[in-house]
Amino acid sequence: MARILVINPNSSLACSARIDAAIAPFRLPGGPLLEVATLRDGPPAIYSWADWHAAVAPLCRRIADEPADVYVVACASDPGITAARAATDKPVLGVFRSAVAMATARAGRFGVIAIVDASKDRHMLALDAMGLRERLAAEVALNVTMETLLDPEAARARLIAAARDCVAAGAESVILGCTGMAHHRAAIEAACGVPVIEPCQAAVALALGVVMMA
């Protein structure tokens, strides 16, 4: 049976649990094995460039040591994606790039909700690599902690407001720019009126396609 390994590059077990819940509907009868791993020696969360770089070496070690048919890097800053791809001959998908691919397939312009302002530069780096910077209508940073996002209610009103700001700026879909936002997706979509894309779901959908086309 094919195996898709979704790696949370931070050390938060609570964040991994949210990722696992988000991708649970993609566990299909008779389909590929879909597992979530936590990078225990990664940073507690990825806020800064220092956190981003701190995740790269342990991420590459995990990929080199643990066989899978497709790897998914489950952080919307896509930490170490180039290095991770060099660590294996199997496909490695970044969840932010996957979400952008999904957004551009569904509509013209998209918005992004970031956990902190520092995430914006990392998102722009990915958009530039994909040649899609001009498709970004707006990006709104909440400047909150991972713990706040993981709470069932603490950040929901601010997430909805950020999504509505993106729509007002011309976004036809909204990308959740942190995996800690996953459990808010349905509520945000209902409130803002456009498709809201959860990056881990987008990446796993692509990973399933990769496996089925192999």
Q: What pLDDT shows up at residue 9?
A: 95
- To 5 degrees, how large is the angle CA 33–CA 35–CA 40? 155
Q: What pLDDT shows up at residue 151?
A: 86
Given a cut of 80, whether residue 195 has pLDDT beyond it is yes
From 166, 176, 172, 170, select the one nearest 107 (Cα to Cα).
172
pLDDT band of 42, cuts 50, 70, 90: very high
Q: What pLDDT shows up at residue 160?
A: 97
Given a cut of 80, whether residue 100 has pLDDT beyond it is yes
Q: Report the pLDDT averaged over residues 1-22.
A: 94
Higher pLDDT, 151 or 98: 98
Residue 169 DSSP one-character state: T
Q: What is the pLDDT of residues 62-73, one digit of tens each?
A: 999 999 999 999
- What is the distance between the alpha carbons of residues 8 and 59, in angstroms, rounded to a whole number? 9
Q: What pLDDT shows up at residue 57?
A: 96
- What is the distance between the alpha carbons of residues 196 and 171, in angstroms, rounded to a whole number? 11
94 CB-near residues (< 8 Å, 6+ apart): 72, 73, 78, 81, 126, 203
First to last CA, the chain: 13
Domain 3-94+201-213 in this protein, CATH class: alpha beta
CA–centroid distance for 202 within its chain? 8
Q: What is the pLDDT of residues 119-142, one digit of tens each?
A: 999 999 999 999 999 999 999 999
Question: What pTM does this model have?
Answer: 0.94
- What kind of fold does domain 96-198 have according to CATH? Rossmann fold (3.40.50)
Region class of 193: left (phi > 0), else alpha (psi between -120 and 50), else beta: left
Considering the chain, tell me which residue range(s) the CATH 3.40.50.12500 domain(s) occupy.
Answer: 3-94+201-213, 96-198
Q: What is the mean pLDDT of the chain?
A: 95
- What is the distance between the alpha carbons of residues 180 and 163, in angstroms, rounded to a whole number? 16
- Read off the amino acid at residue 148: T
pLDDT band of 1, cuts 50, 70, 90: confident
From 115, 63, 64, 126, select the one nearest 72 (Cα to Cα).
63
From 76, 143, 71, select the one nearest 103 (Cα to Cα).
76
Say if strands 196-197 and 173-177 run parallel, antiparallel, or are unpaired. parallel
43 CB-near residues (< 8 Å, 6+ apart): 10, 11, 51, 54, 55
